[in-house]
Every structure is written in C-alpha cells, then in structure tokens.
Amino acid sequence: MFGPLLAALTFTITDPIGDAHGDGTYVLPTRPALSADALDLREFTAHTDGKTMTFRVSFGAMQNPWQLPGGQSAAVTDIFVKTGLGGANTLPELNLNVNEGWQYHVRVAGETATLDNVAADGRDISRQSPPQVSVEGATLVVKTDIPAGKYGYWLTSSVYSPLTRTGLLTPGTQAGPAALSTARTNPPVPVDVLAPEGDFTAYTTHTLAAVGRARDDRPLLLGGLGGLGVLLTVSSTLRLWRSGRQ
C-alpha cells in the first residue's frame, strides 16, 4: 500500500546559458581548441535509483579535446552533496568554500571518477567505490553509492587538463593559448558554478550557496500513516470489545 509513496525522488535545476567564463573575466584556453559550451552547465538532476543516487549533469555541448576513450575531456565536474549535519566547508582544490558542510564529493575528470565521504567533523575523508559514468548526448550520467535521499547540492565545472596533478587547469593572470587567464587575483578555479543568472557572488566572496534541500519528508509521511494505522487498529479493537460486552 505504500508503493507510490516510495517512488523515486527527483530534483532538477537549470543553470543560465553562456556563463562559463567565471565572473565574466575568464579567458578560456585555445590549445587544445575548447568550446565554452562544453564547460557551460545547463541542467542538474539528482534522482533516487533504488537505494542510491544517480546524477545527470547537462552541458551546452559535449567535447573531447584530449581524445579520451570516455568521449568527454573538456570539463572537470564536481558535485558536493549535503546529507546531514556537520561535514567539510571547503571545496577541495577549487578555492571555494560553503556555509554548510558537505558529506559526499563526486569528481569526474577525464577518464577518472571518484567519490569521497567526509566525517561529521569535516576532517576524516574516505574514498568510496568509484561512480559509474556514461555520456548521453551532452549529459554526464553519474551513478553512485550515495544512499538515496533528498539532499542539498553544490555543482561546479572547471577546465580539464591531463597535464596537471589534479586534472584541473588553474586560472591565473598569465595569458597564453594553453592558459586559463583572468584579471582577478586568487580566483576560484571553476569557470561555471550552479547559481542564478547574474549571480557572481561565489567569485567575489569565494563562497558558493547550495541548491536543494537536505531533508527527506517521506519518512515523516510514512510515520504519520503508520500512526494512523495504529489508531484505526485500536478503534476497531475497542468496538469489538464493546460489542462483546453488550
């Protein structure tokens, strides 16, 4: 009887078109040739897939400038997930912070996909089973072992480079065909973040706001239905007892 109430939870949010230039001053590298659309976040969807979470990240285009077998090598995609209290307040290697701690971090960089879980104190980080990543058109599909639930999210897109230790091309003031350049000093690494149109707060304060909610109302609903069932059972028992006395 509770089947429909346990249906998949889906959260979808869109991102403005054509804003894969940081705060507007980032100049993308031209060697290899790189399309801004391939870094431009367009839509993020999180949905429960049985007992775990699957994420879909759509871009303006899917590009493979480094010719990797997976079919995509333009962007480094980072998804941070808030599932509860505590967690870490720094987005690793992105020069960004968050006001609320995250518990899970998914990174897709070229052929590599990782999933990290951080303890409530924000210090103890453990590596989990790697996500399964596939490409559908201009969308990354990322299947993870994160437990199913209704959570808060942070999403960023950075320039991928296999020539760096982290796979991230860090922006700087030095211009050049292979450089990601900007006039801003100490800039955040991502060229696009999931945020409302015209909101460059993350680039001025180095703090990115979450989207979604870290609360799942289904257990409350099921608990209420369970309580109602108990009341109906007690009521029926009382009626039978009274009928027997009469």
pLDDT tens, 85-117?
999 999 999 999 999 999 999 999 999 999 999
- The pLDDT assigned to 19 comes to 96
User: Of all helices (H) and strands (E), which one includes residue 10?
Assistant: strand 10-14
- The pLDDT assigned to 8 comes to 80
- The pLDDT assigned to 213 comes to 75
Does the structure show a pLDDT above 90 at 234? no
- Assigned token pair, 156: 């960023």
- The pLDDT assigned to 232 comes to 54
- The pLDDT assigned to 121 comes to 86
Note the pTM of the prediction, 2 decimals: 0.85
Beta strands per DSSP E along 50-161 = 52-59, 75-82, 88-91, 96-102, 104-109, 112-118, 125-127, 132-136, 139-147, 152-159
Query: 170: which residues sit within 8 A by CB, 6+ positions away?
Result: 164, 180, 189
| Mean pLDDT score of the chain | 88
Q: Which of 14-28, 157-171, 211-225 has the lowest mean pLDDT?
A: 211-225
Q: What is the residue extent of each domain of the chain?
A: 3-215, 217-246
- The pLDDT assigned to 7 comes to 61
70 burial type by CB count under 10 A (0-12 exposed, 13-18 middle, 19+ buried)? middle
- The pLDDT assigned to 120 comes to 87
Provide the CATH number for the domain formed by 3-215 in this structure.
2.60.40.1190
**pLDDT confidence bin for 231, thresholds 50/70/90:** low
Q: Cβ(152)–Cβ(82) under 8 Å?
A: yes
- The pLDDT assigned to 233 comes to 57
d(CA 206, CA 18): 21
Does the structure show a pLDDT above 80 at 237? no
Which residue shows structure tokens 């989990």?
128
- The pLDDT assigned to 123 comes to 84
- Residue that wins the pLDDT comparison between 121 and 1: 121
- The pLDDT assigned to 96 comes to 98
**pLDDT confidence bin for 175, thresholds 50/70/90:** very high
- The pLDDT assigned to 122 comes to 87
